[in-house]
Structure 1
Amino acid sequence: MTSGDGTAIAFNELGTGPAVVIVGGAFSLAADGDALASALADVGFRAITMDRRGRGTSGDKRGSQPEDEADDLAAVIEAVGGDAIVLGHSSGAVLALFAASRGVPIRALFLSEPPFRFGVEEPAADLPQRLQQLVDEGRSAEAVVTFQLEAVGLPRQMVDSIRQSEQFASLVPLAQSTVYDAELTARVSTPTAAMLSVHPPVTILRGAQTFPVLVAAADRLAAELPDSRLVIVPESVMHRLDPGATARVVRDRV
């Protein structure tokens, strides 16, 4: 389908029943949501995985902003019937809540470990611009590393290990998307008033064992978002969403 600014956005569908659109986080492709999509289909949903702009088989447009990604999600929802449950993980959860605040038609929101900082230990304000410069200079690998170190906050030793792994080659083509994730999470690192007054029912998910910054973010968001529900998913460990357990939460909450 085509988003509001003409960017092509690719998505896949699996199963039958109410639509659930899965919005992945940093470096995630539609295919990374396949296991979750299968688990959702098994419990009676039509699961939709999407390539966010600048990833996989979706298109891109220089200068894209968070509003454009919200429009992408709105266009996917329109394409699958005009009304959907949305399940976002990591920065995808931030995007989902931002989109809902802009009036995107969402029946229910499931936000898995959104990395809100609430003003604590924020990345440098110029990070999106520096990432874009690295990409423009053809230094995509360095952009990926910079994002992992400064936006995600991974230790240098872990980042060096990732860079030496076979996985790293698959991350480099996604360097442009790090600009979009950095811009999104900087813009709404603290949720806006509109984001804290969305109309769809909100379920916030986190693992019992995950990064402290994500525990703090989920717990504070649950405290500040009226009528939201925090659900601890023990099977989800260290920011890795467990497909089966998560699908059961969605089934039980809608």
Structure 2
Amino acid sequence: MKTTRSADGTPIAFDVMGDGEPVVLVSGASCTRGVHEPLARLLAGERAVINYDRRGRGDSGDPSPYAVEREVEDLAAVIKAAGGAAAVFGNSSGAVLAVRAAAAGLPITRLALWEPPFQLDPGAPARARAYADELAACLDGGRPGDAMALFLRSVGMPAEAIEGMRRAPMWPSMEQIAPTLAYDAAVLGDGGLPPGLAAVTAPVLVLTGSRTGPWADAAARALLDALPEARHTVLDGQDHNVSWEVLAPHLIGFLG
């Protein structure tokens, strides 16, 4: 494990696997960098893979107050530690963070995105506000377990499955990371695309699964319309919980 310092002094932990041109992996909600360790191993024969803990997760720091801009600065610090420029792969809400970072002008050479959860229907902003308000009530009330359960319901997990998870040995670690769910809610905002995408000149690959649902394809189409150099690949038989073995060859081919 290595560490770098973000602009506000926050320590950001990361691992490096492999050699070659760097690619940085950005995780989604409720995850530490461990979620990408299998993917990093698949990519390490082709690239130097930088797998980092977003702030508040794993071995990275978490000073208050939170702001999305601080997470963009965290990614900037990781890219600087990687040599000053890097390709970036973002997973789910981590893909939204990566898009925001690219729009902010970070030195991203290529950008690959797995199912960024943009919600573009008319009811999306109201749902986002209601979720963020309920999540804040859980966290402010000292109920991280309820916050995690709320998140799991929001992504479609059945109630009986959530109750089973609450009795599982892994639940305390999930409660520990629950405060960062508010960070992902802030990254997603009202669910729409962030401004400034027309200025992103790096090649972009948007990846979605054939079994995820129409929202993923709608988000991909919107990104293709907004980004100058974007293309879309559908992974047959995959849903949001993608197989890294299926995804990795597409990512390797795009990174070149």
Tell me the TM-score normalised to structure 1 length. Answer: 0.90
SS in structure 2 of the partner of residue 9 of structure 1: strand
Consecutive unaligned residues of structure 2, counting only runs of 5 or more, are: none
1:163 aligned partner, one-letter code: R
Matches of residues 71-220 of structure 1 in structure 2 within 5 Å?
Answer: 71-122=73-124, 123-150=127-154, 152-187=155-190, 189-220=191-222
Question: Is the CA contact (8 Å cut-off) linking 1:77 and 1:84 kept in structure 2?
Answer: yes
Question: Is the CA contact (8 Å cut-off) linking 1:114 and 1:214 kept in structure 2?
Answer: yes
1:156 aligned partner, one-letter code: A
| Deviation at residue 192 of structure 1 after TM alignment | 2.7
**1:129-182 CA distances to partner (integer Å, 9 max, x unpaired)?**
5423422332111111122224x3444344334333333332111111100001
Matches of residues 15-34 of structure 1 in structure 2 within 5 Å?
Answer: 15-34=18-37
Question: Is the CA contact (8 Å cut-off) linking 1:206 and 1:232 kept in structure 2?
Answer: yes
SS in structure 2 of the partner of residue 125 of structure 1: helix
Tell me the TM-score normalised to structure 2 length. Answer: 0.89
Aligned positions, number: 250
In 2, the alpha carbon distance for the partners of 1:199 and 1:117 equals: 24
In 2, the alpha carbon distance for the partners of 1:219 and 1:54 equals: 32
1:132 aligned partner, one-letter code: A
Question: Is the CA contact (8 Å cut-off) linking 2:85 and 2:109 kept in structure 1?
Answer: yes
Question: Is the CA contact (8 Å cut-off) linking 1:101 and 1:198 kept in structure 2?
Answer: yes
Matches of residues 232-251 of structure 1 in structure 2 within 5 Å?
Answer: 232-234=234-236, 237-251=238-252
**Aligned: 1:39 with 2:70:** no
Question: Is the CA contact (8 Å cut-off) linking 1:233 and 1:246 kept in structure 2?
Answer: yes
The CA RMSD over aligned residues, in Å, is 2.0
**Percent of pairs identical after alignment?**
37
SS in structure 1 of the partner of residue 119 of structure 2: coil
Question: Is the CA contact (8 Å cut-off) linking 1:10 and 1:50 kept in structure 2?
Answer: yes
Question: Is the CA contact (8 Å cut-off) linking 2:33 and 2:52 kept in structure 1?
Answer: yes
| Deviation at residue 119 of structure 1 after TM alignment | 4.1
**1:28-72 CA distances to partner (integer Å, 9 max, x unpaired)?**
111111110011112x10111111011111110222111111110
Greater shift in the superposed pair: 122-131 or 74-83 = 122-131
Superposition misfits of 4+ residues, deviation over 6 angstroms: none
In 1, the alpha carbon distance for the partners of 2:229 and 2:158 equals: 36
In 1, the alpha carbon distance for the partners of 2:151 and 2:79 equals: 29
